[in-house]
Structure 1
Amino acid sequence: MAHLLFVLSPLVAAALVGAALGRVPWRLTGLRLRATALLWVTAAVAVVRYTAPGWLPEPLRRAHGLWLACVVWALATIWFALNLRPATPVVRAGLCLMWTGFMLNAIAVAANGGAMPFAVDSGAAAGVGHVPLGPGHHLPWLTDVLVVPAFARVVSVGDLVLMAGITTLLVGAMARRHTAAGPDVPARPTGIRSPGRMEGDSYRPGR
């Protein structure tokens, strides 16, 4: 439950920030993402890496599926690049933050042989892609060592930057409140006549 709340926290943060800025959280009119199929392929490769099904060749299982992780990083970077140019400035900033957090995690994983080390006293369980932090690991400040008491879990610097990017992207994609309700159309003034025309005067061609 705590993990689910942590994953949903950027959505809650974006809704609160968006509402405070006069935006409508449920109308993401500015979210026009390209190459969504590429994003699904990236997610599928990540699932294969973490689940390590029986049909997966042994070379792709080595080092916690590091080769598959490299494929995920490459595909995700291409997806981010494809979506930068058409995005609005705020959405673009969110994408850049997301990619930065994503790559900070990637650097930590690559530097530690394909696994993300986590603090030993965190209570987390080791598995594919996750190992307890030890003296032989590199870049410990990029690993899962930051405690988030509200969610009873540890995260990395990259996780926090990634979530800040998701929040920024969602806020930037929200419609402004006046846009969502429709622009105010001023009432047509009454009692105003065109210059040169008097009351009771009728239009005649040639006049």
Structure 2
Amino acid sequence: MAAVVMAGGAAAQDAAGWDGWYLGASLDAYAANLTEDEVFTASGTPTGQFAYSGDGVGASFFTGRNWQRDAMVYGVEFGVTTGRSVAADINSSTSSYFYDTGPMLGVKGRAGYLVRPDTLVFASAGLSVGNLNYNWRVNGVQERGDVWSQGYSLGLGVERQIGNGNALRLGLDYLQRDSDDFTTPSIPALADYTYSNTYDEVSVSVGFTHYFGD
């Protein structure tokens, strides 16, 4: 009887098909914060710090490769995430400050454990890069541009096989990125200052993954 149960469990684990390449997509609900540091360019003296926030829904697309060793699953994943928006209206009649991330590119390592042959619990850590776009208007003068940013991501998730190589994914992720310095010379009131930003985000995602196997 024990041999039958063990054989059945092994067959179910093989049927789940965690080893090999996969492709997927998800919908992401996010809450984002952006901290902006202002420095007087000539002296390098900090002159202010401003906080913006935003939330919304976006999408992610990913592909990766898993290696299964008994109940452990290791992998690497590459992804692109649609842009996120953060904004602040300091005074709607004279000034507004809008940011969005643009598409974000990422690579992460994953390590997981099969709590059941068809259910994988995993953690991830990786790198994220992309542009941070800004659109400012001060006293009727507008300037827009983009600046490079880079950082890291951490995540937890669970996937459940639903048959035919398909799986449902639920994830919780944290992302932080720091931007390069930038200036806004077209706006006279801000032309003597240099800016940089730290962007951080928490997101919850629901997705679909298809496993191709080896």
- TM-score, normalised to structure 1's length? 0.23
Pair member with larger Rg: 1
- The structure with the greater share of residues assigned to strand is 2
- TM-score, normalised to structure 2's length? 0.22
- The structure with the greater share of residues assigned to helix is 1
